[in-house]
Structure 1
Amino acid sequence: MKTAKKTVNSATRAATERQAKSAAVAKAKALAPELPARIGATPATRFRGDPDIFGRLVEDHDRHRALLAMIDATEGKSPERQRLFKELVLEIKGHAAAEEQALWSTVLRDPATTEDARHAVAEHHEMDEMLADLAARDMASSGWLRRFAKLREEYLHHVREEEQEQFVAAQKHLAPADVRYMRRVFNRRKKAEKAGAEVEKKIKLKD
């Protein structure tokens, strides 16, 4: 009986995760329905589809994975590449700022998780620099494509690390009521931060 119940719960959980991932990808696809959004298999995470801050953050991560894949499917200075890159910049900047306010500002105050929070925030700043560098360069150049590939690699590493390590560590030190409240804070701040975000252009001297 217990085994059957566990199997049903596992199947329900898997269905919830698939639905959450599909919904996030669909949001990205709405910008350019004709482009593929092949994000493939994603790193295992316990949070996809959860009704709390961590589930909400993974939702954004999946949307960003789709945007990165779609940009990779564009060419030159096409309107699709320009539109999708702008959306990616505003999405990541709004997401990072809201994540810092809703989650990491609290996690920073706990000595047990301070280092994880600092690491995540530091990588947010690195992403900002890489996005600004890309925005300042010629989208049709081989150099832009090379730098975009590097950004994609770094961002996918960043979100994988958050989902598999940093969120897990933070959850252990937060009450269930806290993570549910943080989702509401994140949603409010994400909307405001994305609306106020801009595409900055600043070339980095070092590759």
Structure 2
Amino acid sequence: MQYIYLHGFASSPNSNKARYIEQRFAENKINLIIPDLNNNDFSHLTITRQVKQVTAYFDNAELPVTLIGSSLGGLTAAHLGEKHPVVQRLVLLAPAFGFLSHWLPKLGEEKIQRWEKEKYLMVYHYREEREVPLSYDFLTDANQYSEDGLQRSIPTLILHGKNDEVIPIEASRDFAGQRPWVKLVELDSDHSLGNVFPQIWREIHSFCQFEV
């Protein structure tokens, strides 16, 4: 099995969550691939670009793939799993289902209109620790990606905080409720899941059936 971790929006492979999970994999002598989805150009990020970037790891793949995705990386992982049979397991951490419907109202109509007119929106990037411009193409591209079409029966574990302030847990409840192959674990945490890393690892370890 090949394992690939997809970090979240405006994050990086150096996030606390990515590093923690990578260390646990290393302790189990399992390689975890963590591509940088910023791809040296966060300003022109799109979900489609992320999909294409990760798909390159599937070319001539000799092993099945487990994708672990956080937030927007979780949404990307779900769409990759839908289209690529080589993906045989999904672990989604606070996946960004319906994220436009949650994010855009927080921006407000005036800011969205200005984004469309000026072509770029300043977004805080956690690795850069500063605001970085993001192209309006991100929004138009994201409109193509709806979880309604995610119907492939692929073993899926979702870990979501009950106090998530970015993507309400109802998004994962709705998704799991319509798909019997999805297991949802609700955690006492927020979107970062920062206080439940050990529990996350226990769930991943059990779901992936690692040998002890």
Normalised to the residue count of structure 2, the TM-score between the two structures is 0.33
Structure number with greater CO (CA < 8 Å, separation at least 6) is 1
Bigger Rg, which one: 1
Higher helix fraction (1 or 2): 1
Normalised to the residue count of structure 1, the TM-score between the two structures is 0.33
